[in-house]
Amino acid sequence: MRRVLLVASKTGYQVREFHGAAEQLGIDLVLATDRCHVLDDPWGDHAIALSGAGPPPASEIDFEALRARGPFDGVLAVGDHPAFIAARCAERLGLRFHPSGAVNAANDKRRTRERFLGSGLNAPDFRIAGENGAPQFPCVLKPLRSSASRGVIRANTPEEFAAALARIHKITGDDTVLVEDFIPGREFALEGIVTAGKLETLAIFDKPDPLEGPFFEETIYVTPSREPASIQHAIQEAAQDAITALGLEFGPVHAEMRVNDRGVWMLEAAARPIGGLCSRVLRFEHGMNSPGEMSLEALLLRHALGEDVARARLAPGAHGVMMIPIPAAGIYSGVEGLEQARETAGIEAVEITAKEGHRLEPLPEGATYLGFLFARAPDAEGVERALRQAHACLRFNIVPALPVIGAKRGD
C-alpha cells in the first residue's frame, strides 16, 4: 500500500478531510505533528511527534521516529509551519516537496517581499517598524509570521500607526513588525499545484467583499472568477513569477494578490493548500477514467504520489464559501436560523464550528471563524447571492465578556 506522510499541528478539520480522501484512495496516511514528543498522544490520533515546535531554526525533527513508520511515497502538510517541517522531512527522506529554504521564505513576510521585489514583481514597498524613517500613509502593519489576517491593521495617520503597532505587539509578543504600503484594488486568491517549479492553476477565487481595512477579515470566496480572461491570465502569470521568486518546486500553493489599473500585485504565495474547511468548496472532475467528483485533498494526495493530475478540472457550475466572521468578542452560546440558512436555494452545507461556552475573539486578535457556508449554483452571482441570504438567516448569540488570558476560542 502506498504511504503518505501528512504533517500538521494537530488533528483538525482538514486533517480529517485528508484521512477520508486517503481511505477512499487506498492510501496509508501517517500523521506527524510538530508538537513536542513528551506529550503522549494527547489527541488520540496516533501521530508521530516530531518535536518540531517553535520557529524553524530551532526545529529538531525526530527522523528516527519517521523512519520507523515509513517508508513513505509522498509528503504533504497542513499549515505554514508544518509545511516547513514537511520540507525538512522530504529533504532527509528523499521525497518530493518544496525546498525548506523556499518554504521558510514563503512563511516570512519580509523575506517574501524581498524576493518578490528582487524579481521585479509588483509588490508593496515595505520596511520594518522603527527602521528607515517614518512610514508612508496609508500603510498596513503585519506580524512577520501570521495567517488568516491575524494582527494585520491599516493605519492612515501617525496616531493610528502608533495604536496599531502597540496592538500587534500585544497580540504577538514580537517586536518586529512589517510595515508596507497599502495597495488599493480587488483581491483574489489562487489555488494551485506546482510540479518541477511549474504552476498548474486549480481555481481563481474572487473576493467580492472590499478589503480596505482597518482589519482584513476575509469572508466570501467564489470560483470561477468573473474577471475577464486577460485579468485571469495576468493573475496566473504573476503567481508563477512569485513561485519562481520563492523557489517553490513541488506541492500545493495558495497565493493571494490584488489587481488595480497598475496590474497584479502579489501579496503572498504560501506552500500549503487553502486552510480549514474552506477546501470543501473545491470539487474536481477526475479526468482519470474515474466516476464522480474528487476533493482537493484527494487531488493533492495523488499529486504527492507522483500521479499526473493536470487533467483534473473544477466540477460544473460555480462554487463558493463564506467564512462566517465573528462580530464581537464574547462567550458563544448558540445560533438561531440554521434550518432557514440550510434551506436557502444554492446552499450545500452550513457548518458551525464555534463551540458553545468557548470565548470568541474577532480580528485582529482572533484567527478563527464562527463557521462556514458552502454554495453551488449555475453562476457566480447565484453563489454569492445564496451565501449572503443564508448568512442573513443566522443569528449568533455571543455574551460579552472581559478578556481572559488563556481562554478557549472556537476552532
How does pLDDT run across 133-169, given as a tens digit for each residue?
788 999 999 999 888 789 999 999 999 999 999 999 9
State pLDDT tens for residues 320-358: 999 999 999 999 999 999 999 999 999 999 999 999 999
Q: Could you give the percent of the chain with pLDDT greater than 90?
A: 79
232 phi and psi angles, rounded to 5 deg: -65, -40
346 phi and psi angles, rounded to 5 deg: 95, -15
Give the whole-angstrom CA distance, residue 333 versus residue 311. 46
Per-residue confidence (pLDDT) for residue 340, from 0 to 100: 98
For strand 74-77 and strand 3-8, is the pairing parallel, antiparallel, or unpaired? parallel
Structural contact between residues 349 and 374, judged by C-beta atoms closer than 8 angstroms: yes
Per-residue confidence (pLDDT) for residue 287, from 0 to 100: 63
Domains in the chain (CATH in brackets) are 3-106 (3.40.50.20), 125-181 (3.30.1490.20), 184-316 (3.30.470.20), 320-399 (3.30.470.20)
Give every CB contact of residue 248 below 8 A, 6+ residues apart in sequence. Answer: 98, 99, 102, 103, 106, 194, 197, 269, 271
Give the whole-angstrom CA distance, residue 360 versus residue 403. 10
Give the CA radius of gyration of the chain.
Answer: 21
State pLDDT tens for residues 262-283: 999 999 999 999 988 999 999 9
Mean local confidence (pLDDT), 96-117: 97
Which of the 8 DSSP states describes residue 366? Answer: -
Structural contact between residues 126 and 180, judged by C-beta atoms closer than 8 angstroms: yes
- Asked if residue 224 has a cis previous peptide bond (ω within 30° of 0), the answer is yes
Place of cell 496590474: 263
130 band by pLDDT with thresholds 50, 70 and 90: confident
Query: What mean pLDDT is reported for the chain?
Result: 91
Structural contact between residues 18 and 276, judged by C-beta atoms closer than 8 angstroms: no
Give the whole-angstrom CA distance, residue 21 versus residue 301. 8
Is 36 a residue whose pLDDT tops 60? Answer: no
Per-residue confidence (pLDDT) for residue 101, from 0 to 100: 96
How many helices (H) and strands (E) in the chain? 10, 22
Q: Cell for 198? A: 511549474
Give pTM, 2 decimals.
0.92
Give every CB contact of residue 7 below 8 A, 6+ residues apart in sequence. Answer: 32, 33, 34, 50, 75, 76, 77, 78, 82, 83, 85, 86, 89
> Which letter, b or e, does each residue of 44-76 get, where b requires 16 or more Cβ atoms within 10 Å of its Cβ?
eeebbbbbbbeebeebebeeeebeebbebbbbb
Range from 40-54, 248-262, 281-295 carrying the lowest mean pLDDT: 40-54
Q: How far is CA 219 from the centre of its chain?
A: 13
